[in-house]
Amino acid sequence: MRTILAVMGKELLEASRDANVLLYALGFPLLLYPMLIWGVVQLLQVEAGVTESQPSRVAMSAPREMLSALAEPPVESLPGGEEDLLADRLDAILELVPQPAGGLVARLTFRSTRARSRRARALLSERLESWRQHYLEDLGTGMGRGAGAFLPWKIEAVDESPAGEVATTVVSRVLAVLLLTVLVLSTLYPLVEVMVGERERGTLETTMVAAVPRLHVVAGKLLAVMLIAMTAVLGNLVALLATLASMLPDLGSTLGPLASRDPLSLFMAFMGLLTMALALAGSMGLVILPARSYKTAQNNGMVLGTVFLGLSALALFPQVEAGPVLALVPAAGTSLLLRDSIAGGVPMSLGTIVVVTNLSVAVVGFWLGSRVLANEGYLFGERLPRWLAWMERRRD
């Protein structure tokens, strides 16, 4: 154990001196996502303010008595057709088409990719519905059957879920995928540095001369990578929550149910994330080891990292439920464990399967990595072990 800690300390010291590792593994995760969220919110607010201040330009074909009700500010009635809509001279086109059996059909043409056009559609839809209700009320009153005789039935859906619980459910999906995305990105660059960087500097052979088991060397290197990645993930989580809290003063009350989550479920989520960091380090390290340059190592690592990111995206879909089968898939099981732990809790058995699966992947990756480093053909020549020969075509 002392040897593993010594190797880990050495790698952490070297990583702290490397600008690329600090920038890509810690700087981006800690600053990029909070800055992106803040920037997107500010842009949306600016866009909403600009859209609200501009009138909605609409070409209308409707009876005279309706035009006065529909063309009130901020709606402006202008002549034109579809070519004007496509040229951004109009925001929408409204046509009331008489039907052979009586009645009218309102055909509303707009562009969903334009904010002003979407706003014009919303305004006109609201006014058309209001006009229709007034018309039916007048019709019922005129026939002596009451103002509400011809109005359609209203279906009132009552959601008993507290507002905080609804918000927590949404946040849990996004947060699970975001944390795993940061974990993958924060693992890749330090892993390339500790595996390939030492080889390029010519110090790997010197390290291998030390009278220590190869497994201890691999474990020390990968544990250092895991520690860097987890620091980035936890730091990103704090920065993200601080950013949201500064922009949304009511965030604490909205996400209040998080504080009432079962501590055991949250502990299982943390263990799932921690063991996933080990699994990432072990599996991605095994793919990166055969590389002879930074470029090849990054390409190899990104291929596997993309696979993990795709699997973690399953947490975004509420219809995908965590179960024993998906728990056996490292990234998918971890993302679903994080999502359900934040949203409400998971069974202890499911969390145990995820943790054991991640640890199994990590142990296999650590052991196979030690086998590669024990191969003299790899250390002092261009040969790979026979069981990695299929990767020859991916090398420089």
What would the pLDDT profile of 55-74 be if each residue is shown by its tens digit?
Answer: 889 888 877 777 777 777 88
Q: Which pLDDT belongs to residue 260?
A: 52
Judgement on whether residues 135 and 8 belong to the same structural domain of the protein = no
Domain that holds residue 123: 56-142
Q: Which pLDDT belongs to residue 359?
A: 92
Judgement on whether residues 173 and 138 belong to the same structural domain of the protein = no
**How many whole angstroms separate alpha carbon 189 and alpha carbon 194?**
9
Q: Please check whether residue 192 is in contact with residue 294, taking contact to mean a CB–CB distance below 8 angstroms.
A: yes
pTM for the structure as a whole: 0.66
Judgement on whether residues 318 and 175 belong to the same structural domain of the protein = yes
Judgement on whether residues 12 and 67 belong to the same structural domain of the protein = no
Q: What is the domain count for the chain?
A: 2
Cα four-point dihedral sign 341, 344, 348, 350: negative
- Strand order across the 56-61 sheet: 75-77, 56-61, 92-98, 104-110
Does 93 reside within a domain?
A: yes
Q: Which amino acid is at 299?
A: N
Q: Which of 77, 111, 142 is the last residue of a domain?
A: 142
Q: Which pLDDT belongs to residue 353?
A: 92
User: What would the two tokens of residue 319 be?
Assistant: 């219809």
Judgement on whether residues 171 and 118 belong to the same structural domain of the protein = no
**How many whole angstroms separate alpha carbon 55 and alpha carbon 76?**
6
**In this structure, what CATH number is given to the domain that contains residue 69?**
3.40.190
Q: Which pLDDT belongs to residue 360?
A: 93
Judgement on whether residues 326 and 372 belong to the same structural domain of the protein = yes
Does 45 reside within a domain?
A: no
**How many whole angstroms separate alpha carbon 212 and alpha carbon 219?**
12
Judgement on whether residues 262 and 129 belong to the same structural domain of the protein = no
Q: Which pLDDT belongs to residue 256?
A: 52
**What is the H or E stretch that residue 52 is in?**
helix 33-53
Judgement on whether residues 98 and 11 belong to the same structural domain of the protein = no
Does 158 reside within a domain?
A: no
Q: Which pLDDT belongs to residue 357?
A: 92
Judgement on whether residues 218 and 348 belong to the same structural domain of the protein = yes
Judgement on whether residues 138 and 287 belong to the same structural domain of the protein = no
Q: Which residues of the chain have pLDDT under 70?
A: 14-30, 32-34, 37, 40-41, 44-45, 47-52, 101-103, 147, 149-155, 158-167, 202-211, 244-261, 374-396
Does 154 reside within a domain?
A: no
Judgement on whether residues 105 and 208 belong to the same structural domain of the protein = no
**How many whole angstroms separate alpha carbon 3 and alpha carbon 245?**
43
Does 42 reside within a domain?
A: no
pLDDT digits (tens, 9 = 90+) for 271-323: 988 999 889 888 888 888 777 777 778 888 888 888 998 999 888 888 888 88
Q: Cα separations (Å) of 342 from 59, 185, 251, 279, 358?
A: 49, 22, 15, 22, 20
